[in-house]
Amino acid sequence: MRDTPRLYVAQGLADRAEHVLAQDQAHYVRDVMRMKPGDPLRVFNREDGEWLAYLGSVTRKAVSVRCERKLADASAPPDIDFIFAPLKHARLDYLVQKATELGARRLRPVLTARTIVDRVNLDRMRANAIEAAEQCNLVFVPEVSEPEKLDRLLAGWDARRVLIYCDEVAEGEDTLATLKALKLPAALLVGPEGGFTPEERAALKRLAFVKAISLGPRIMRADTAGTAALTLIQAVLGDWQS
């Protein structure tokens, strides 16, 4: 069953439900996988879970699927938001894919003083998150939020959610001890390539719901820092705990 192709289908999934696939999905099924009518595949979304389905018609104009049996309920990962300064093109694609694989429940772009990208293609972000979920057997796709300026994000913050931020100049911080003292819900904040400004760092540290962590002695690229920090948080607070 794990070798059966998987597709994200936004429409409602239920017993005997039939849907026409989107054009790109039809191309993948028909022209890449060379699938035929009656071939099985798995379809899923974040509301209706995962279903075993079979191809109906397969033509140059359209490809249809029919749901037959529910395989799994939707399964949301731990309540962890991933808040990050947008990066350029391929590096942003990578970051979104890895955050999805690592179990971020929400993806929230934030604009900081040193953010070099001020416009974000949210459709492309969603497509990358869906592709990662399809490939990694996730029965969930993270929410993708509109970009928000850092000061507005902090002003409207729900203090019941701890905000963990990666401080590249933190000294003497015991990262694991800091994380072990926290509880979910949580959010992780990763800055841009140039890091946070001194003013932003000071503003963050004044807030009681903010906890700073260090990612060690080396300066990491923003996409590396995001994946490293999410790994730590999942291991200590999330669903990687033994």
CA angle 186, 191, 195 (to 5 degrees): 140
- Would you say 233 and 81 are in contact if contact means Cβ atoms under 8 Å apart? no
Whether residues 146 and 218 fall in one domain: yes
Whether residues 100 and 17 fall in one domain: no
Question: Domain ends where: 38, 72, 106?
Answer: 72
Whether residues 19 and 130 fall in one domain: no
How many Cα atoms are found within 13 Å in the side-chain-facing hemisphere of 193? 7
What single-letter DSSP state applies at residue 96?
Answer: H
Q: What is the mean pLDDT of residues 43-49?
A: 95
Question: How high is the pLDDT of residue 237?
Answer: 93
The CA-atom distances, in angstroms, between 158 and each of 104, 146, 187, 200, 216 are 18, 17, 11, 19, 29
| Assigned domain for 92 exists | yes
Question: Domain ends where: 29, 55, 72?
Answer: 72
Q: What is the mean pLDDT of the chain?
A: 91
Number of domains in the chain: 2
Q: What is the mean pLDDT of residues 82-90?
A: 91
Residue 2 has pLDDT above 80, yes or no: no
| Assigned domain for 182 exists | yes
Residue 122 has pLDDT above 70, yes or no: yes
Size (the chain), residues: 242
| Assigned domain for 1 exists | no
Whether residues 173 and 63 fall in one domain: no
- Would you say 209 and 153 are in contact if contact means Cβ atoms under 8 Å apart? no
Residue 4 has pLDDT above 90, yes or no: no
Q: Which amino acid is at 242?
A: S
Question: How high is the pLDDT of residue 76?
Answer: 93
Contacts of 218 (CB under 8 A, 6+ apart): none
Higher-confidence residue of 102 and 1: namely 102
Whether residues 156 and 174 fall in one domain: yes
Whether residues 117 and 193 fall in one domain: yes
Residue 173 has pLDDT above 90, yes or no: no
Whether residues 92 and 199 fall in one domain: yes
Whether residues 117 and 136 fall in one domain: yes
CATH number reported for the structural domain that contains residue 94 in this entry:
3.40.1280.10
| Assigned domain for 241 exists | no
Residue 54, φ and ψ in degrees, nearest 5 = -130, 145
Question: How high is the pLDDT of residue 216?
Answer: 80
Whether residues 128 and 54 fall in one domain: no
Domain that holds residue 98: 80-236
pTM: 0.91
Q: Which is nearest to 13 in space by CA: 23, 3, 21, 2?
A: 21
Whether residues 49 and 131 fall in one domain: no
Span 188-228, pLDDT tens digits? 999 998 889 999 999 998 999 999 988 887 888 888 889 99
Whether residues 102 and 201 fall in one domain: yes
| Assigned domain for 105 exists | yes
Question: How high is the pLDDT of residue 170?
Answer: 59
| Assigned domain for 169 exists | yes
Question: How high is the pLDDT of residue 166?
Answer: 86
